[in-house]
Structure 1
Amino acid sequence: MFKPGVGFHYNISNLELTLSFYTEKLGFKELYCDANNGQSIVTTNTEDCFIGFAEAQPISPSSTCITFEVENIEQAVQNLQQKGIEFKGGIIVVPGVVKLAKFFDPDGYKLMLSERIIQHF
Structure 2
Amino acid sequence: MFVPGLTVWYNVRSIESSLAFYTEKLGFEELFHNPEWGMAMVKTNTDNCVIGFSEAETVEPSTSSTVFDVTDIEDAVHKLQGVGVSFVGEIETIDDFVKLATFADPDGHSLMLSQQLTEL
Alignment TM-score > 0.5, same fold: yes
Query: 2:86 is matched with which residue?
Result: 86
Per-residue CA shift, 1:46-80, capped at 9, x if unaligned? 11000000000210012111000001000000000
Letter in 2 for 1:39: M
Q: In 1, Cα distance between the equivalents of 2:43 and 2:19?
A: 11
Unaligned 5+ segments in structure 1 are: none
Letter in 1 for 2:9: H
Query: 2:77 is matched with which residue?
Result: 77
Query: 1:58 is matched with which residue?
Result: 58
Q: Equivalences for 1:8-47 in 2 at 5 Å?
A: 8-47=8-47
Query: 2:97 is matched with which residue?
Result: 97
Per-residue CA shift, 1:56-106, capped at 9, x if unaligned? 021001211100000100000000000000111110000000000000000
How many residue pairs get aligned? The number is 120
Q: In 2, Cα distance between the equivalents of 1:95 and 1:76?
A: 20
Deviation of the 1:118 alpha carbon: 1.2
> Taking every aligned residue pair, what percent have the same amino acid on both sides?
47
Runs of 4+ in 1 over 6 A off after TM superposition: none
Per-residue CA shift, 1:2-54, capped at 9, x if unaligned? 11111100000011110000000000000000011110000001110000000
